[in-house]
Chain A
Amino acid sequence: MTTDLQTNGSMKKKVVAIQNLNFQYRQKIILRDISFSVFPGEFVSIIGPNGCGKTTLIKTILRSVVPQTGTIHIQGQEVKTLSNKALARHLAVVMQTIDPAAMTVKDYVLLGRLPFFEPYQFFESQKDQAIAQRYMELTGVAHLAEARINEISGGERQLAAIARALTQEPALLVLDEPTAHLDITHQVRVLNLINTLKEQLSLTILMVLHDLNLAAEYSDRLVLLDKNNGRIYKAGTPEEVLTKASIQAVYQTGVEVRPNPISNKPWVFLINPHAQEGKSNAP
């Protein structure tokens, strides 16, 4: 299925354009005929069941996985023609977890300036320092600047990772399940921050998310991957994608979908079959 997310206006320059992407690992087809685009300022989330290829799709953009066929363009340039540093200047990545290295938060965030280092440059410039400081303040980790990464909490690490990614000053921020190991306070804090940064910095966001309700709440658009055939099952606004029928077809589990009473976004309720049986058997 080919799905172009163009309702924001096809005249806008695409930040990401993926066309006819196919990837298989040994005999297993992971991604089949994937095509979609992301436009400036959009917040797009990739959702789908475990093993449907969400992270693989992200990795093809990052070039750590090479697709058999298809093209990926970032800001009009094909990713396979870009140098590693050039790619890192276009997009920055926040992974699920960051390794608890012994470096300080400040040194970690400053690593975001590496793609801008000249050959044989060993030290960050004053400008680099100022940029890192700005994003540490924006993400609320400036007070942890001298703390070591392995001494701060998982939530603080994710905020530091976002600060590091922003220090790359990318056009596209890619996040791979950034809330996977966080409690609900930090989940909301991280996603609120990303949403705020998107508005303040006109960032384009491409995120992999497991939690359908968080995806619906924060994303402008969703891309739902189908594990059964590796294709995009549906793409569009949360209201278009998160329907009872599409979720049941892709996840093969019973759900109810209602509007969130506060935001009016789709809200997915899981149905426990035993609870349902109990309810129907009740006198």
Chain B
Amino acid sequence: MNHRLKRWGLILLVLSVLVVAVGLLALCTGSAGIPVNQIPDILQGGKNTAGYSILMGIRLPRILLGMGIGGALSLAGTLLQGMFRNPLVEPYTLGISGGASLGVCVNILCQFYAVIGIIAYPLSGFIGASLVIFLVYHLNRDNRNVRSNRMLLTGVMISYVASSLVMLLMALSKTDDLQSIVLWIMGSLDEPDTTLIWICCAGSIVGLFISYFFCMDLNALALGDEEAANLGINTPRTKKILFIIASFLTGLSVAVAGIIMFVGLIVPHFVRMITGPDHRILLAASFLSGAAFLTLCDVIARVIIAPLELPVGVITGIIGGVMFIWALSRKQVTL
């Protein structure tokens, strides 16, 4: 046990250092390069300097948002893959992104943002995601159990329906609206509202905290629902709560940053290669790795064709996808 705890402690320490290092890299990197040794001077130099505004007003909120969303998506993917015992499940499989996209499309086309302000974007995304969560859950529960495979299939179908409706709305929309929809769908960490950023970070940490109460249940669920029940786990209740946590984390992320694919699929797989399948280490390690991965991808998205920016989802897809195919070809991916 001591050996294992030491190993887990070391993994968490390394990942924490990685998160801090990526955070520093992201602080220093951008159209205005700031050497890391100048950061203390800039911070002490007062709030009115350009350097301070760049660091604290632009880059730090973006880094925090990237870490919050990366952690949340990665954690949601870990919870769902553990709960469904399916390596292909990711936060968007259950149609949550489709619902959020549809909500935002309706907001753009009906111009709710003109009435209630910029908050209409995350709000409509969150409402769309919540409706899908409600629908998927209630279509797939009987008196005692949450039917996992049916739930997955329903989620995939709702995703298709929502995507088709989004395309329909795009076909009917004006050019300006179309551009807004496309930009939102591609995902971005450029969020001006600091309150939303704090909500997102706090929400993802709360999600991690609550998930830990179910880490042993997740370990038992790796053996299947029946085996877990035979070990004294209340599987319907556990799966219901895990589904709500994962949906909440995904809904929050989609509402604030749009759709950022692959993080929730790939990061848990890579972390599992290092930590093994024990959720006592996997949950925190996935959270930290997701935070570092998305922040790093955002740095690349910001600098690769500077001064223009790529959508961060493009980078997560390319880097994550290629690395995942490489890992699969080396048979390193396990559940």
Query: Chain A residues in contact with chain B, CB under 8 A?
Result: 62-64, 66, 83-89, 92-93, 95, 98-99, 101-104, 107-108, 111-112, 114-115, 117, 120, 122-124, 126, 129, 150, 168
For residue B318, CB closer than 8 A to chain A, the reply is: no
Q: Which of the candidate stretches B168-176, B186-194, B229-237 sits at the interface with the other chain?
A: B229-237
* Given contact pairs A92-B230, A99-B85, A129-B1, a sample of 16 additional A-B residue pairs in the complex whose CB atoms are under 8 Å apart: A64-B229, A66-B144, A83-B232, A84-B233, A86-B232, A88-B232, A93-B230, A103-B219, A103-B276, A104-B276, A107-B278, A111-B231, A114-B220, A117-B216, A123-B5, A126-B1
Residue of A nearest to B145 (CB): A64
Q: Once the chains bind, are A84 and B226 in contact (CB under 8 Å)?
A: no
A95 and B219: CB pair below 8 A?
A: no
Closest to A126 in B: B1
- With beta carbons under 8 angstroms apart, the residue of B85, B144, B230, B280 that contacts A88 is B230
Q: Which residues of A contact B280 (CB under 8 A)?
A: 122-123
User: Which residues of chain A are within 8 angstroms of B278 by Cβ–Cβ distance?
Assistant: 103, 107
Taking A88-B232, A120-B213, A122-B216 as contacts, is the C-beta distance between A95 and B222 under 8 angstroms?
no
Q: Which residues of B come within 8 Å of A, CB atoms?
A: 1, 5, 85, 144, 212-213, 215-216, 219-220, 222-224, 226-227, 229-234, 272, 276-278, 280, 334-335
Among A102, A120, A126, point to the contact of B335 (Cβ < 8 A). Answer: A102
Instruction: Name the contact of A101 in the complex, choosing from B1, B222, B226, B229 (C-beta under 8 A).
Output: B222
Is B230 in contact with A111, judged by CB distance below 8 angstroms?
A: no
Main secondary structure of the interface of A (DSSP, over half): mixed
Question: Which residues of the other chain, B, contact A64 by a CB distance below 8 angstroms?
Answer: 226, 229
CB distance A88 to B1 under 8 Å? no
A66 cross-chain contacts in B, Cβ below 8 A: 144
Tell me the complex Cα distance, A103–B277, Å: 6
| Chain A residues with CB under 8 A of B222 | 99, 101-103
User: Does A101 contact B232, Cβ atoms closer than 8 Å?
Assistant: no
| Residues of chain B contacted by A88 (CB below 8 angstroms) | 230-232
User: How far, in Å, is A16 (CB) from chain B's closest CB?
Assistant: 16
Distance, CA A276 to CA B162, complexed state (A): 66
Please report the C-alpha to C-alpha distance between residue A92 and residue B229 in the assembled complex, in whole angstroms. Answer: 11
Q: Which residues of B contact A124 (CB under 8 A)?
A: 1
Contact of A62 with B229 in the complex, beta carbons under 8 Å: yes
State the CA gap A112–B219 with chains docked (Å): 12
Q: Decide: A114 and B233 in contact? CB cutoff 8 A.
A: yes
Check B277 against A115 for contact (C-beta < 8 Å).
Answer: no
Contact B220 A111 (CB under 8 A): yes
The 5 A-B residue pairs whose C-beta atoms are closest, nearest first, are A88-B232, A85-B232, A115-B232, A93-B230, A102-B334
